[in-house]
């Protein structure tokens, strides 16, 4: 199958007898996918822009993702630039233009990129963060705060403040950029459109 990647290039996804398919959160088969569908691919990279898929599933369109992010922003996630820090509080200028103060607690985890564990004092004004959590008594308390790498920030700005998620906000484990790496050597290609 040929797919159009978010950067406009064409990729190739090969399937096997064990490739699993899901569309609209239901079991599916390859023939259920049509040209123009947005998909995600999980599998092994076999070369530049080439994967052997272990799973292919439907992904929300960019408009659907933006709507979900708008609904979740400030309630279950906060994305934006750190304006000030008065531990344990961070004031964030969100991607939707709203300024919101979040308050970390003893259970909040902090990371830089995918792999580096950090602490609150490692976060500086000017960093762009992605926080997942919930409102408690009207205050957003993050379970996790991730300082985004510059490439992810660039991609997010190109998309008008939208991040790319492997399964969409709140759906699956993929928070991501251009690909997701797991310890098993598998990759998850970003949401894509079959060609």
CATH number of 64-152: 2.40.50.320
Give the pLDDT confidence of 8-39 residue by residue, as tens digits. 899 999 999 999 999 988 899 999 999 988 88
Contact 129, 145 (CB under 8 A): yes
Cis ω before 195 (30° cut-off from 0): no
CA 81 to chain CA centroid, nearest Å: 17
- How do the domains of the chain map onto residue ranges? 2-59+166-194, 64-152
Radius of gyration of the chain (CA): 18
Give the pLDDT confidence of 108-133 residue by residue, as tens digits. 999 998 789 999 999 999 999 999 99
Q: Name the residue with tokens 């959590």.
A: 133
Supply the DSSP symbol for 163. P
Cα end-to-end span (Å), the chain: 8
pTM summary value: 0.58
pLDDT average, residue stretch 48-71: 86
CA 97 to chain CA centroid, nearest Å: 20
Give the confidence band of 167 by pLDDT, cuts at 50, 70, 90.
very low
Contact 169, 134 (CB under 8 A): no
């Amino acid at each position: 199958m040929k797919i159009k990647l978010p950067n406009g290039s064409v990729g190739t996804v090969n399937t096997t007898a064990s490739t699993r398919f899901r569309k609209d959160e239901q079991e599916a088969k390859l023939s259920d996918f049509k040209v123009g569908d947005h998909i995600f691919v999980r599998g092994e990279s076999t070369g530049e822009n080439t994967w052997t898929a272990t799973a292919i599933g439907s992904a929300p369109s960019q408009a659907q993702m933006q709507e979900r992010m708008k609904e979740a922003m400030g309630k279950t996630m906060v994305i934006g630039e750190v304006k000030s820090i008065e531990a344990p509080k961070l004031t964030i200028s969100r991607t939707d233009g709203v300024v919101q103060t979040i308050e970390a607690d003893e259970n909040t985890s902090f990371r830089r990129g995918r792999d580096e564990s950090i602490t609150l004092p490692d976060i500086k004004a000017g960093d762009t963060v992605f926080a997942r959590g919930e409102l408690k008594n009207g205050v957003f308390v993050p379970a996790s705060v991730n300082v985004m790498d510059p490439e992810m920030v660039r991609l997010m700005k190109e998309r008008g403040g939208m991040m790319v998620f492997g399964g969409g906000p709140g759906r699956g484990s993929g928070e991501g950029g251009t690909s997701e790496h797991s310890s098993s050597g598998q990759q998850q290609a970003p949401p894509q459109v079959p060609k």
